[in-house]
Amino acid sequence: MNENEILGFDPSQLSVFNQDENTPKNFNSNIYKTRPADSKSDDGIYRATIKVIYNPFNLKNSVLQQQSYGLQDNEGWFSVVSSLTVNDTNCPIFKAWKKCHYAEKGSQLYLQAAPKEEGGNALFDKRFARYVTVQIIEDKNQPELEGKYMFWKLPKSIWDIINAKMNPSVESKKAPIPVMDFLFGRAIDIEVIPGPKDPLHPERVQRETKYMGEISEDVVSCVNPDGSPLLNDSEQDVLDEYVRQMSKVWRSKNPEERAELVKEINANENTQKLRKIYERVLEEIKKVCPDLNEELGYHEWPDNVKQRVQKWIDIVLSGNLPATSDNDGAAVASTLEAKPEVPASTASSTETDTSDDLPF
């Protein structure tokens, strides 16, 4: 089977499951925001039903583990997606961090990367986020988005329940459930619960947001953006029969039995019909779905960004502060605006990955 063939795609083969775990985004209108501040419920909880789906343009790369840096110079704040996103350690900012981090402890260079609590300047603000593609099934807070295909910054709590279903441990003997499949995947009911209202610490409302999620037991198919079904009646019959057969596989806790069942199902006539249906469906979805890796993945920086980053690095390695220095490192008066608020869990003052559980 071609690695990008959708029918029969093993969800446990996503590239995200085969990477070393140790390996902020500019505004994008395709990013789905689920903020309690936008809730229309009396209790302030943001509720919605979504489908997290495969990236139709590259199935294996359906979960983008984006690594970026938030930087400040005398022009203001800016962020760049690092090549660390694609496991390329030649990122110049990463190399600069290593020079500082491994410098003599207590030296001026060392303090450029050291955290504030150690008396350092904490200049290397590295951020980590998982992005996925979703279709919004129901959202009474933003009904205009229903049916739309968008990107979502995946909270760790929701990722954990998807991960448990799609990539179960060998010891559990459970079958991988294709939660992210377009036609026989599952929907997820999400609840975004705001943090406590604390007059002394108003930032807690956002910083202590909690995410709850429940995956549907029943199969839920993607639909067209206008809410109409992707399949006609006869095609739906073919899908229903496939799901009926595959349900035995998904329920089985015997790997050998599962392998035999899948072999039989893949060989039967109904599955051959579904393959042809899926070829059409996949092309239709590509027409209305943005490309995750194209829009949010790492791309070589344009020349003006390269130059700005290099000036930032040069000033840092000279022992000065980019925010209050000119392009040659000389001190200048600062009239910069305050740093944009970033949830505590999203930013690290040192080169340590942190999982952001606040996707907004």
Share of the chain above pLDDT 90, in %: 79
Predicted confidence at residue 17, as pLDDT, reads 57
Eight-state DSSP code of residue 178? -
Q: What is the DSSP string of 65-130?
A: EEEEEEEEETTEEEEEE-GGGGT-TT-HHHHHHHHHHTSPTTSHHHHHHS-GGGT-----EEEEEE
Find, among 125, 127, 128, 147, the residue nearest to 32 by Cα: 147
Q: How far is CA 347 from the centre of its chain?
A: 16
Predicted confidence at residue 16, as pLDDT, reads 59
Predicted confidence at residue 218, as pLDDT, reads 96
Give the angle subtended at the CA of 322 by the CAs of 320 and 324, to the nearest 5°.
85
Predicted confidence at residue 15, as pLDDT, reads 62
Please tell me the class of the 1-360 domain. Answer: alpha beta
For helices 233-251 and 269-288, what crossing angle results, to 10°? 110
Domain ranges of the chain: 1-360
Q: Give the residue ranges of the chain where pLDDT is below 70.
A: 1-5, 12-13, 15-27, 327-360
How far apart CA 3 and CA 10 sit, in angstroms, is 10
Predicted confidence at residue 9, as pLDDT, reads 72
How far apart CA 69 and CA 305 sit, in angstroms, is 13
pTM for this entry: 0.81
Predicted confidence at residue 28, as pLDDT, reads 85
Cα–Cα distances in Å, from 18 out to 108, 167, 178, 212, 320? Answer: 39, 11, 17, 26, 40
pLDDT, tens digit, 9 for 90 and up, residues 98-115: 999 999 999 999 999 999
Specify burial of residue 314 (Cβ count, 10 A radius: 0-12, 13-18, 19+): middle
* Strands 31-32 and 210-215, sheet pairing: unpaired
